[in-house]
Amino acid sequence: MVVEGRVESAPSGLPWRVIFPDVEHLGASSYLRELAASDCSPLTLRSYAFDLLRWFRFLHDRLIGWEQAERVDVRAFVEHLRDAPNPQRLHRRPDRPPPGSVNAVTGKAELSSNYAARTINHQLSVLFGFYEHACAANVGPLINPVPAQRVRRGGRPHAHHNPMEDFLIVRRANYRQKTPRPVWRAIPDDAAAELFAALRSNRDRALISFYLSSGVRASELLGLRHGDLDAGRYTITVTSKGSRARETVPASVDSFVWLALYLAEQPPTSPGGPVWWTRRSKAAPLTYHAMRAVLRRANACLGANWSLHDFRHTAAARMLADPAFTLVDVQTVLRHASVTTTQIYTQPRLEDLIGKVLEHHARPKAEAATIEPAYDVAAVRELLGLPG
């Protein structure tokens, strides 16, 4: 079966466009331009474009135009996503563990072959915004077929709270999936040392060292350029993923030592150029997918399935374990917009509690207090007000 449509990048103007079935989709482009004017990043536009393309393909198979879509079509789409395999998971290598299996080294489950609950909810949010824009711009239907979030006592979700009114409770809208509670997973020190030993080059050692000491996100560190490094203060300046603000983050001394060893092996670079390069005969800037391949090779040696984001969790766990750090300190280093996000890392992990539970059950029970034979038992009980 021929798959209709595609998402194309453009050198100027709107960075991403939805081509469906073989021409630019004007409704999608109008919505993406609205997002671009609202200062959404190109990566966000790309993600939304693929979500819209997935919806258009589904309707095309049902011989329904996007303007004629109804609520029952949205329900059928959710049912389809719940059962259909995710195409990105169909190209797994034969040596990879089966989907959903638990890795014996890390205790982490492999990704499921189906669409995750958060992916479905994100898809519905994109469609809701798309149809809201289409209705307001009079380029689509008069009614949005995607159910909106329901709020008790009126109001809109995530609105600024009026201190004169009660707090609003946002109820999960129809077709939105239940999502698991956010969890975090840090790499134990022994496992981190084994992973570090499995790396093949000083470049990889410098990268992992920066990840573990600074807690920056994977894409933020890969975007580092010459001029963003301050070896005297042991800091790096990164472009934050969400706000895209330029922010300074401290890193360890060891990270800069590995960086110096890596830069000594590299040919001279121009000021302002990328710091991280591939090790091929024809060097190119190191991308996110190339960095994932580096970690995948190290995982293969250990039989593990650690991810790049686990390094950020590990950095947060190490800082919170140090009594010199406060929760606000860690929030500042990780650049979380809300301290509530940082509080996720304060939740105890099951693997940390297992030893405490075993120690609790192995500890002998304390003997009950008794009265020395030299004392009159009746007199002591009367003195302490105990029953006879």
Asked if 28 and 131 sit in the same domain, the reply is yes
Asked if 236 and 340 sit in the same domain, the reply is yes
The candidate with the shortest Cα–Cα distance to 319, out of 229, 243, 252, 233, is 252
Asked if 302 and 246 sit in the same domain, the reply is yes
Report helix angle 202-214 to 288-302, nearest 10: 100
Cα separation, 107 vs 310, in Å, equals 13
The candidate with the shortest Cα–Cα distance to 123, out of 170, 65, 54, 35, is 54
- Between vectors from CA 348 to CA 346 and to CA 354, what angle results, nearest 5°? 160
Specify if 371 maps to a domain. Answer: no
How is residue 308 written in tokens? 């790049």
How is residue 212 written in tokens? 């573990």
Cα separation, 131 vs 156, in Å, equals 17
Asked if 116 and 193 sit in the same domain, the reply is no
Asked if 256 and 336 sit in the same domain, the reply is yes
- Between vectors from CA 304 to CA 301 and to CA 308, what angle results, nearest 5°? 105
The residues, ordered by sequence, that sit 6+ positions from 211 with a Cβ below 8 Å of its Cβ are 218, 221, 308, 311, 312, 315
Check: CB of residue 347 under 8 Å from CB of residue 184. yes
Tally of structural domains, the chain: 2
Cα separation, 77 vs 51, in Å, equals 12
The per-residue pLDDT for 151 is 53
Pairing of strands 170-171, 150-151: antiparallel
- The CA radius of gyration of the chain, in Å to the nearest whole number, is 28
- Between vectors from CA 278 to CA 306 and to CA 268, what angle results, nearest 5°? 135
Specify if 376 maps to a domain. Answer: no
- Note the pLDDT tens digit of each residue in 20-47: 989 999 999 999 999 999 999 888 999 9
How is residue 228 written in tokens? 């963003």
The per-residue pLDDT for 375 is 84
The per-residue pLDDT for 297 is 94
- Note the pLDDT tens digit of each residue in 283-335: 899 999 999 999 999 999 999 999 999 999 999 999 999 999 999 999 999 99
17 DSSP β-pair partners: 8
Asked if 142 and 204 sit in the same domain, the reply is no
For residue 153, pLDDT over 60 is answered with no
How many residues make up the chain in this entry? 388
How is residue 19 written in tokens? 């081509």
- Note the pLDDT tens digit of each residue in 240-292: 987 889 999 999 999 999 999 999 988 767 778 999 999 887 889 999 999 99
Confidence of residue 91 (pLDDT cuts 50, 70, 90): low
The tokens 């209705």 sit on which residue?
135
Asked if 201 and 337 sit in the same domain, the reply is yes
The per-residue pLDDT for 163 is 54
* Secondary structure class of 23 (helix, strand, coil): coil
For residue 144, pLDDT over 90 is answered with yes
Q: What percentage of the chain carries pLDDT values higher than 70?
A: 92
The candidate with the shortest Cα–Cα distance to 291, out of 311, 273, 272, 271, is 311
Asked if 204 and 307 sit in the same domain, the reply is yes
How is residue 118 written in tokens? 């958060």
- Between vectors from CA 11 to CA 8 and to CA 16, what angle results, nearest 5°? 35
Residues spanned by the domain of 41: 6-147
Positive or negative, the CA dihedral 326, 327, 333, 338 is negative
Last residue of a domain, one of 346, 365, 383: 346
- Note the pLDDT tens digit of each residue in 115-130: 999 999 999 999 999 9
The per-residue pLDDT for 364 is 86
Asked if 197 and 320 sit in the same domain, the reply is yes
Return the number of other C-beta atoms located less than 10 Å from residue 15's C-beta: 17
State the chain's mean pLDDT as an integer: 88
CATH number at residue 35: 1.10.150.130
The residues, ordered by sequence, that sit 6+ positions from 7 with a Cβ below 8 Å of its Cβ are 16, 17, 18, 19, 46, 49, 50, 53
Asked if 137 and 227 sit in the same domain, the reply is no
pTM of the predicted protein model: 0.79
Cα separation, 213 vs 197, in Å, equals 17
* Secondary structure class of 325 (helix, strand, coil): coil
Check: CB of residue 168 under 8 Å from CB of residue 155. yes
The arithmetic mean of pLDDT across residues 383-387, rounded, is 81
CATH number at residue 305: 1.10.443.10
Asked if 115 and 209 sit in the same domain, the reply is no
